Amino acid sequence: MEPETIILTGARGRLSSVLSKRLGDNVVPVSRTGGGGCILYEDLLQSGLLSRPGVLLHSAWSSVPATAENHPASAWTDDLPLMAKLLAEIARAPAKSRPRFVFFSSGGAIYGERRTPAVETDMPAPHGWYGLGKLAGEQLLQAFASQSGLEACSLRISNPYGFGFTPEKPQGIVGAALHAARTGRPMNLLGAGASKKDFLHMEDLTSAIQAVIANRPTGCFNICSGRSTATAELLAMIETSIGRKVPVLPAPAAAWDVQSSLLSREKFESATGWVPGWGLEAGIASVVGTAMRAE
């Protein structure tokens, strides 16, 4: 059997560009701008790929948690209309000729503050516009799945690390710390680094996506390490691996930033057998070593 087609939206994004290289030659990368091997959404809609079996990994999103606060309507003006257009096109195809739809949601932003590990049946309580937009995306997908019988899956991904960093889209403390160490320009350290997050190595995220493709789970799943670490502790790990201090600029905790994010991976592990392969200390050392060799 030939490997099924994997349509990857938002393919020019930092996370998706890594996934595109790791998921194989059967990936069809799609972006708003096209070029560089990517096709445009208009071309995807006319290609017939949305009426063929396969899987669509919907990673496209116009903001990250920090930038969403400056453009609160962007999810509703840009992201959700695009998502609805793709879903409507898939829904028009015969049931046996549709790609499965996998939505990249957010584990860190959806649940709000957690004292115990969040499970998928817990009530969402997003703080900021990014989390609200991702929750709306999940609801849109569920509506199409219920009304049109689409095979659908929402992945509540925690905080991946091990992909590129750009100041224009300031997402990921590991990338921000390495950028600060390399350039000497201080990174903003919100709330004295007290917030706790679940950090997931990029290789573990890749293997989780591969498990989704292979096992075809439907519904909503946390994709996470199952361990939460204070950002100040994470920064200390990075400094140990680099062998020098990372310049920081202390800043107050942001209202949109969840201070205690705890997630359970039990449901996804039960559905697919997936477990993360990287411990945080070893993962940080690996990512730092790769970054230093590239300098």
287 with 234: CB under 8 angstroms?
no
Q: Which amino acid is at 151?
A: E
Lowest-confidence range among 190-194, 245-249, 289-293? 289-293
Which domains does the chain show, CATH number per domain?
6-166+199-227+262-276 (3.40.50.720)
Average pLDDT of span 271-289: 92
Look at residue 253 in the predicted model and tell me its pLDDT. 85
Look at residue 124 in the predicted model and tell me its pLDDT. 95
Query: What is the model's pTM?
Result: 0.93
Query: Residue 25: pLDDT band by 50, 70, 90 thresholds?
Result: confident
Distances in Å between the alpha carbon of 144 and those of 34, 84, 150? 27, 9, 7
Statement: residue 73 has pLDDT above 80: yes
Q: For the chain, how many helices (H) and strands (E)?
A: 12, 12
206 with 23: CB under 8 angstroms?
yes
Query: Residue 294: pLDDT band by 50, 70, 90 thresholds?
Result: low
Query: Residue 193: pLDDT band by 50, 70, 90 thresholds?
Result: confident
